[in-house]
Amino acid sequence: MVILNTPSQILSFDEGKIEQVLNNLISNAVKYSYPNSTITVKVFKGNHQIITQVVDEGQGISENEIDGIFKPFKKTSTKPTGGENSHGLGLAIVKKIIDGHDGSVGVSSELGKGSTFYFVLPI
Ligand SMILES: Nc1ncnc2c1ncn2[C@@H]1O[C@H](COP(=O)(O)OP(=O)(O)OP(=O)(O)O)[C@@H](O)[C@H]1O
Ligand SMILES: [Mg+2]
């Protein structure tokens, strides 16, 4: 458990679990992108929340396949670029962990342009 404490605001989270979330999102960004593209992790602080985004310039996901992407075993027609395994479980784990922190998860993506996965943790 990590607690970041400023005079009036406290963010507490399970360090190992949030590391697992970042590992899943960053490894997906790598896995579904082509070599030599850029992956960016951005963190924003709002009044009542911390927003973390993992942005890739990879293959993206088509609009009609994005529904249910955080459900177990959901896979899309976007496949790994380096022959990696794909079980459809990583994002379901991400959602479970963030739900357990009273947060929320989401994605915006455009086929051929890339994806932004994000999670929000309450302060
Ligand atoms: N950054 C991304 N860019 C494009 N498609 C993605 C991205 N992340 C996930 N996807 C799509 O969403 C599906 C679900 O992702 P998820 O991480 O749950 O499973 P996975 O990567 O297939 O397998 P694993 O269980 O090893 O994580 C993937 O199969 C892929 O089609
Ligand atoms: Mg994955």
Tens digit of each residue's pLDDT (9 = 90 or more) over 107-119? 999 999 999 999 9
Counting the structural domains of the chain, the total is 1
Distance 12 CA to ligand 1 centre (A): 28
Which position has the higher pLDDT, 95 or 12? 95
User: pTM for the complete prediction?
Assistant: 0.95
Q: What CATH number corresponds to the domain at position 71?
A: 3.30.565.10
- Ion ligand 2 residues within 5 Å by Cβ: 28, 90
Task: Tell me the residue range of the domain where 78 lies.
Answer: 2-122
3-state secondary structure of 110: strand
Distance 13 CA to ligand 1 centre (A): 24
Tens digit of each residue's pLDDT (9 = 90 or more) over 70-122? 999 999 999 999 999 999 999 999 999 999 999 999 999 999 999 999 999 99
Contact 27, 115 (CB under 8 A): no
- φ, ψ (nearest 5 deg) of residue 96: -60, -45
